[in-house]
Amino acid sequence: MGRCLRPLLRGTTYTRLLHLWVPMLVVSVWMFIDPSRPWVPALVLVPLGLLPGVRTGEGVQARLLLLPGDSDPGLSVAPSATWRDRLRTVLWLEARMALGAVALFACVWLPSLVYDLVVGAGGQVPDDLPLLGDAAPGWWLTLLIPVPLLVLYGVVVGLGELVTAVARGLLGPSAAERLAALEERSQQLLERNRIARELHDSIGHALTVAVVQAGAARAAGDPDFTDRALAAIEDSGRSALADLERVLGVLRESGRPVSDRPTLTEADRLLESARASGAKVDAELTGRLETVPGPVSREGYRILQEALTNVLRHAGVVPVRVRVGVADDLLHLEVRNPLTTRIPDPDPGHGSGLRGIRERAALLGGRAVTGPDEGDWQVRAELPLR
């Protein structure tokens, strides 16, 4: 019993009924003007529904009254962009008016019928409410009083569910809107992944340098070396804080440009950081790196940063050969170091850092190879400049 009466306790039941009554206000006013032509309001809805902005207004009303509080109502509030959207809006307006007429008729006629039954059970049927026809008054009419009330309950609840379903079908997003929403969602996911890679590369590199330097300083027991190690840790920490601030800036301001992110023209900073950690870096930078397009240069910097971080993290203080060059409309980047037993797993399919390198290259239309090669561990990437 409580489950059957639950719709009567929900505010949505009454907001949906209000939504059905709203167009009937216009019809009621028109009936006072020209009751001989009741079809005029339905005819006016055709050109009205073709206006792009009407779809927005109907979508907002439907969200507020049919699905209040629903986080994902599935109703579009965008203006009509195609003729298909306009025709769907016209159909919606006509359907809303038809269902509203049924709701209004039921809400007026059924209570009047209840009144007739009550009066008839008392002994007479009034002439001004002849809904019972020639039925003889009597106590048995009392048994029929709940019937119109149950019908009214079913009509109100049923029409509310029906108009909501029709709204989802006719005011729901079109195929183009669904595609645009999917593309926007994909862009958001790509942006989240990019930010995650930025944090992984910059903060991971700084922490790796700090750990290696601290360990080397403790093992060396040399005050001068300890001073140099602390200076390198400080420098790496400042760089990481600057990178972190850039990433947080992107989160705070979605329209903020990324042009202030580091590029390959600042590769010396990475090389010096690796050398300060004790690695013997043999670097060769050829070509005009300043002419490399911004997106390619920024991603190349991150690839180089991640490759050097992996060397320090997994191989320790070992000789590292770095080759960065621009030739044949390609940016060539290679980092090699001798394989050591400290590398836990030479499988190139493992590790988010190596996967991030390959993803960065693939997003730019290039390719990256990571893994063992002739006794060395290599990271080799080729990024197109166009």
Higher pLDDT among residues 114 and 204, named by residue = 114
Q: How many Å apart are CA 369 and CA 372, to the nearest integer? A: 10
Entry pTM: 0.51
> What confidence tier does 202 reach under pLDDT thresholds 50, 70, 90?
low
Q: In the chain, what percentage of residues exceed pLDDT 90?
A: 17
Question: What does the pLDDT read at residue 115?
Answer: 78
Q: How many Å apart are CA 285 and CA 266, to the nearest integer? A: 12
Q: How many Å apart are CA 56 and CA 89, to the nearest integer? A: 10
> What confidence tier does 4 reach under pLDDT thresholds 50, 70, 90?
confident
pLDDT in tens, 227-266: 777 777 777 777 777 667 666 665 655 544 555 678 888 8
pLDDT in tens, 244-254: 766 666 565 55
The structure tokens listed for 321 are: 């050969």
DSSP run (H or E) holding 292: none
Nearest C-alpha neighbor of 56 from the set 171, 181, 160: 171
Higher pLDDT among residues 256 and 83, named by residue = 83
Average model confidence (pLDDT) across the chain: 79
Q: What is the mean pLDDT of residues 174-191?
A: 69
Higher pLDDT among residues 126 and 22, named by residue = 22
Identify the sign of the CA torsion 260, 266, 269, 271.
positive
Question: What does the pLDDT read at residue 341?
Answer: 53
Q: How many Å apart are CA 188 and CA 109, to the nearest integer? A: 53
288-291 CB contacts, 8 Å cutoff, 24+ apart: 288/326, 289/263, 289/264, 289/265, 289/324, 289/326, 290/265, 291/326
Question: What does the pLDDT read at residue 347?
Answer: 42
> What confidence tier does 344 reach under pLDDT thresholds 50, 70, 90?
very low
Q: How many Å apart are CA 119 and CA 113, to the nearest integer? A: 10
Axis-axis angle for helices 175-220, 352-363 (nearest 10):
130
Number of Cβ atoms within 10 Å of the Cβ of 56: 16
Question: What does the pLDDT read at residue 350?
Answer: 46
Question: What does the pLDDT read at residue 208?
Answer: 74
Q: Are 310 and 353 in contact (CB under 8 A)?
A: yes
Q: How many Å apart are CA 85 and CA 134, to the nearest integer? A: 51
Count Cβ atoms within 10 A of the Cβ of residue 123 and give its class: 0-12 exposed, 13-18 middle, 19 or more buried. Answer: exposed
Question: What does the pLDDT read at residue 88?
Answer: 92
Question: What does the pLDDT read at residue 321?
Answer: 92
pLDDT in tens, 306-329: 888 888 777 777 889 999 998 888
Report residue 65 CA to chain centroid gap. Answer: 24
Q: Are 343 and 304 in contact (CB under 8 A)?
A: no
> What confidence tier does 172 reach under pLDDT thresholds 50, 70, 90?
confident
- Alpha helix segments (H runs only) across 171-276: 175-220, 223-252, 267-276
**Cβ neighbours for 129, distance < 8 A, ≥ 6 positions apart:** 112, 115, 116, 119
- Alpha helix segments (H runs only) across 253-293: 267-276
Q: What is the mean pLDDT of residues 7-24?
A: 89
DSSP, collapsed to helix, strand or coil, labels residue 282 as strand
Q: Are 258 and 220 in contact (CB under 8 A)?
A: no
Question: What does the pLDDT read at residue 135?
Answer: 52
Q: How many Å apart are CA 206 and CA 226, to the nearest integer? A: 17
Whether residue 164 is predicted with pLDDT greater than 90 in this model: the reply is yes
Whether residue 5 is predicted with pLDDT greater than 80 in this model: the reply is no
Whether residue 330 is predicted with pLDDT greater than 80 in this model: the reply is yes
Question: What does the pLDDT read at residue 15?
Answer: 92
Question: What does the pLDDT read at residue 375?
Answer: 83
Whether residue 93 is predicted with pLDDT greater than 90 in this model: the reply is yes
Q: What is the mean pLDDT of residues 95-108?
A: 91
Question: What does the pLDDT read at residue 161?
Answer: 92
pLDDT in tens, 275-290: 877 778 889 998 888 8
Q: What are the φ/ψ torsions at residue 287 (nearest 5 degrees)?
A: 85, 175
Question: What does the pLDDT read at residue 99?
Answer: 93
Q: How many Å apart are CA 306 and CA 313, to the nearest integer? A: 10
Higher pLDDT among residues 254 and 374, named by residue = 374
